[in-house]
């Protein structure tokens, strides 16, 4: 293992908060290597699944190289079986490690359970190993020093951070909860109250992680600022990650291999447009309903 831990830049956010946009803006930086969401939970069926380069993931040269690299080092990797998601087929292990970040008391209980239940510690290590193998292979292939994981999930930050394997830099990305809840309503068939509750619970989890991290390892960022002041916001992130600002480096123009969204355009700063459709799509009953469930936490985040 390297003496200096690899830097892992992580986008932690609720769904529909601009994490894909942010990933696509950061991906062309030559010091950053990314594949989008390393948890790869959406690639459960590789049949017909396309990499962002346009190739089928089973045909893409990049993924072939990654598989060969990991296999040559004695590890296991297959695009059909990532093993990078913190979940397991073993229901006991699954109950212990999933699904959310808890408060300090329950997290202490979880730590005991992981130590006491046979096989749990090994299973957790195996997931961390799988993540580390992909991170190293992707960074080597891109010749980049920083790995960007856009997986969003706060629970991954917890396990990554506690493992001590990486130098974590976490972007705490939020968007006005009325915007995320409106998107959630449209795409997940929830009503606004349910969507607001989901969003609120995710923010609470993110705050638990924020309390765990030293200040220098956390950057709070708003989706709205990313859209309104894109260049300034990207400069801030580069400074946070300790890499050269974009205007000092040549944006990488070669194809990138990112999972999760084949329509994503990489690095198109000029195409960034703030989505505030919620302002005309939510009626006053829905706004009241949101406010009742999550208004307080939304205003605490600076959304009035
Ligand atoms: Zn590809």
Residues 245-301 pLDDT 10s: 988 788 877 778 988 654 555 656 677 899 999 999 999 999 999 999 999 999 999
Q: pLDDT tens for residues 225-258?
A: 999 999 999 999 999 999 999 887 888 777 789 8
Q: Is residue 207 part of a domain?
A: yes
CA of 231 to the centre of ligand 1 (A): 27
Helix (H) or strand (E) holding 54: none
CA of 48 to the centre of ligand 1 (A): 13
CA of 172 to the centre of ligand 1 (A): 28
CA distances to 8, 28, 178, 179, 243 from 255, rounded to whole Å, are 22, 9, 35, 31, 21
Query: How many domains does the structure of the chain reveal?
Result: 1
197's torsion region: left (phi>0), alpha (psi -120 to 50) or beta?
Answer: alpha
CA of 131 to the centre of ligand 1 (A): 19
With CA atoms as reference, report the closest residue to 207 among 100, 85, 96. Answer: 100
Q: What range does the domain containing 17 cover? A: 6-300
In this prediction, residue 271 carries a pLDDT of 77
Pick 44 or 200 by higher pLDDT. 200
CA of 33 to the centre of ligand 1 (A): 13
Q: What is the pTM of this model?
A: 0.95
The owner of tokens 């705490």 is: 172
Q: Is residue 272 part of a domain?
A: yes
Residue 112, domain CATH: 3.40.50.300
Q: Is residue 75 part of a domain?
A: yes
Both tokens of residue 271? Answer: 């195409």
CA of 50 to the centre of ligand 1 (A): 8
CA of 258 to the centre of ligand 1 (A): 7
Task: Quickly state the pLDDT bin for 156 (edges 50, 70, 90).
Answer: very high
CA of 35 to the centre of ligand 1 (A): 9
CA of 249 to the centre of ligand 1 (A): 23
Q: Give the total residue count for the chain.
A: 304
Q: Is residue 98 part of a domain?
A: yes
Residue ranges of alpha helices (H) inside the chain are 19-26, 61-72, 91-97, 104-116, 120-142, 154-163, 177-188, 192-212, 223-228, 230-241, 278-281, 284-300
Q: Is residue 1 part of a domain?
A: no
Residue ranges of alpha helices (H) inside 150-266 are 154-163, 177-188, 192-212, 223-228, 230-241
CA of 34 to the centre of ligand 1 (A): 12
Count the Cβ atoms, other than its own, within 10 Å of residue 293: 21
With CA atoms as reference, report the closest residue to 102 among 155, 59, 169, 63. Answer: 155
CB-count exposure of residue 235 (10 Å: 0-12, 13-18, 19+): middle
In this prediction, residue 263 carries a pLDDT of 55
């Amino acid at each position: 293992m390297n003496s200096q831990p690899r830097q892992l830049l992580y986008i932690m956010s609720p769904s529909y908060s601009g994490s894909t946009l942010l990933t696509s803006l950061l991906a062309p930086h030559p010091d950053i290597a990314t594949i989008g969401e390393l948890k790869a939970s959406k690639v459960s069926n590789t049949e017909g699944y396309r990499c962002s380069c346009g190739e089928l993931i089973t045909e893409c040269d990049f993924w072939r190289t990654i598989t060969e690299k990991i296999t040559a080092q004695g590890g296991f990797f297959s695009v059909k079986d990532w093993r990078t998601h913190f979940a397991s087929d073993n229901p006991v292990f699954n109950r212990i490690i999933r699904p959310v970040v808890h408060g300090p008391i329950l997290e202490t209980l979880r730590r005991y359970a992981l130590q006491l239940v046979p096989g749990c510690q090994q299973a957790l290590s195996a997931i961390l190993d799988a993540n580390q193998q992909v991170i190293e292979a992707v960074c080597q292939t891109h010749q980049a020093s920083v790995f960007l994981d856009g997986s969003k999930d706060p629970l991954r930050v917890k396990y990554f951070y506690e493992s001590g394997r990486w130098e974590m830099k976490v972007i705490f990305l939020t968007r006005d909860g009325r915007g995320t809840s409106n998107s959630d309503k449209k795409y997940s068939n929830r009503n606004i109250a349910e969507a607001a509750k989901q969003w609120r619970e995710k923010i609470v989890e993110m705050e638990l992680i924020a309390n765990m991290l030293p200040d220098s390892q956390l950057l709070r960022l708003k989706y709205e600022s990313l859209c309104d002041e894109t260049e300034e916001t990207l400069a801030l992130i580069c400074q946070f990650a300790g890499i050269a600002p974009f205007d000092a480096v040549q944006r990488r123009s070669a194809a990138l291999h990112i999972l999760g969204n084949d329509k994503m355009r990489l690095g198109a700063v000029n195409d960034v447009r703030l989505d505030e459709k919620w302002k005309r799509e939510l009626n006053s009953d829905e706004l009241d309903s949101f406010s009742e469930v999550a208004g307080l936490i939304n205003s605490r985040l600076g959304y009035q």
